[in-house]
Amino acid sequence: MVSHIQLKFPTLAVYTVSLPLLSFVFACFGPCCFIFESATFTHCQVRNYLPSISAAIGSFSPQKYIWQICVAVHSAPRYLVVGMYYSHLCDILLTGALWNYLALLIFLLQGVEVTSLLGLTFVSSSENFHIHELCFITFMVSAISNMLLLYLTMKHGTKHRLTAQDRLSLRYKSMFGMVNIISFFLAVYFYFRHNWYCEPTVYTFFAFFEYIVVVTNMGYHMTAFWDFSDHIITVSSCCSLSITPKQHTKFAMNDFVIKIA
C-alpha cells in the first residue's frame, strides 16, 4: 500500500511566506530590544533608530541562524512554485515564440531570484562583501524584472478572459510590485545620502524602506495563493510529488508532476 500526504497549495503558500516573514521580524527588531546601540551603529556615528537588514541578519546571533534556517527551508517550495508558474504560463499564454520566450525568461528570473536570496543569506556582508553585494544586486534585478514581466504577461497575454480571482491576484501584484520598486529607489537614495552627508536619522529611512522592499517582495510572491488556489500537493511514500487542480479548470491545465526515480 502506498501512503501519501495531501496539502492544499494555499496552505503551503501561507507557511512558505510565514517562515521568512516571522524570522525577518525577529532578526530586525530583536536587536533593537536588547542591543540597540550595536544594532543601529554606523560608520557616521550619528543618530539612528533601525538596523539595516544586512547588519541584523549577518552580525547577531541567534537571529542570523534563525533567518538562515527559515530561508533555506522555504526555498524548497519556492523552487517548486517556479516550476509551477512555468507550466501555468505555458498553458494560459497566447501561442507564439514571443510568449514562449517570456515564459522561459520568467522561469529563469524566478530561479535566479531564489538562488541569489540563498547566496546573500548565507554569505554576509561582513564575511565577504563583494559576493554579498553581487548576490544582492542579482536578487534585486531578477526580482524586479520578474515582478514586471509576470504581471504584464498574465494581464495582457492570456488566451482566455480573466476570472475574478485572476484580477484579484493581478491587483495585488500591481500594488506590491509598485510599492516594492518605489521603496527600492528610495532606499538607494537614502543609503547614498547617508554615506555622503552623514546626517542624523537618514540611515533610519534607508532601513525602513529596505524593510518595505523585503515585505512587499514576500507579498508579491504570496499572490501565488490565488494563482494556484485550486491545486493540491500530493507527496507519496514512493518518492513522488504531484501538484494537480482539485477539478478541471477553464484552462484545462495539465498536471505538473515531479518524480524522483
Per residue in 9-28, pLDDT (tens digit) is 999 999 999 999 999 998 88
Contacts of 4 (CB under 8 A, 6+ apart): 234, 235, 236, 237
Q: Where are the beta strands (DSSP E) in the chain?
A: 4-8, 231-236, 240-245, 256-259
Using the predicted structure, report yes or no on whether residue 98 has a pLDDT greater than 70.
Answer: yes
Q: What is the pLDDT of residue 41?
A: 77
Per residue in 129-152, pLDDT (tens digit) is 899 889 999 999 999 999 999 999
Contact 57, 64 (CB under 8 A): yes
Using the predicted structure, report yes or no on whether residue 182 has a pLDDT greater than 50.
Answer: yes
Per residue in 210-221, pLDDT (tens digit) is 999 999 999 999
Q: How far is CA 191 from CA 31, 51, 198, 209, 245, in A?
A: 21, 13, 10, 10, 45
Q: Which residue has the cell 518605489?
A: 182
Write down the pTM of the prediction: 0.88
> Helix, strand or coil for residue 190?
helix
Contact 89, 104 (CB under 8 A): no
* Mean pLDDT, residues 199-209: 94
Q: Distance (Å, rounded) from C-alpha 216 to C-alpha 202? A: 21
Q: Where are the beta strands (DSSP E) in 157-198?
A: none
Contact 120, 132 (CB under 8 A): yes
pLDDT band with cut points at 50, 70 and 90 for residue 246? low
Per residue in 30-76, pLDDT (tens digit) is 766 666 677 677 878 888 888 888 877 776 778 889 999 999 999 99
Among residues 145, 140, 70, 75, which one has the least CA distance to residue 107?
Answer: 145
Q: What is the pLDDT of residue 224?
A: 97
pLDDT band with cut points at 50, 70 and 90 for residue 6? confident
